[in-house]
Amino acid sequence: MSIEHREGLVEDYFAGVLQGSEREAFERHLEGCAICRQRLAEVKALDSRLRILIAEDNADLLDILSLIIEGMGHVALCARDGLEALRLAEERDPDVGLLDIDLPGIDGVELTRRLKSTPHLREIPLVAMTGGIRGEEAVKAGCSALLEKPFTSRQLEAAIGGILGKGGV
């Protein structure tokens, strides 16, 4: 499948409206279209909202976290397992990652290692949503902060603010 150059495509791609094979077709189009690449850079620069990746396999908690994040005026990028989170990180270039540690597929510690060993993803500051021994593992792997469950929306906001205030990593 190929995709025709048209108005609004870049915006739809950036907003996550383009999905699946359409999204892949547009990514191939991007490689050959300097106009769309330039437009994408402009659209990214204009959007001051933070993109926050949430990796959480508990569907109810994921819904709540995404509502809180959007209530703060940010964009929530939701993943139900480690590999989906990795894919979203590559596609959507998040500003912050909130990672549950006991994830199916690859767990949060392994996800952290993979993000930290990928050149264009290693600068994303990560918050591990766990405490105890797994929290220590997550920090060793590269998470900059820990948020022990259960936490309040205020604690979540403080953790995001704190991690960004530190200048990332």
Residues that bind Zn ion (CB under 5 A): 5, 33, 36
Query: Two tokens at 20?
Result: 């699946």
Q: What is the nearest approach in angstroms of Zn ion to the Cβ of residue 128?
A: 39
Q: What is the nearest approach in angstroms of Zn ion to the Cβ of residue 24?
A: 15
Cβ nearer to Zn ion, comparing 29 with 114: 29
Cβ nearer to Zn ion, comparing 5 with 140: 5
How far apart CA 8 and CA 14 sit, in angstroms, is: 10
Site of tokens 């939701």: 78
Cβ nearer to Zn ion, comparing 5 with 44: 5
The torsion angles phi and psi of 51, rounded to 5 degrees, stand at -100, 115
For the chain, counts of helices (H) and of strands (E): 8, 5
Q: What is the nearest approach in angstroms of Zn ion to the Cβ of residue 49?
A: 24
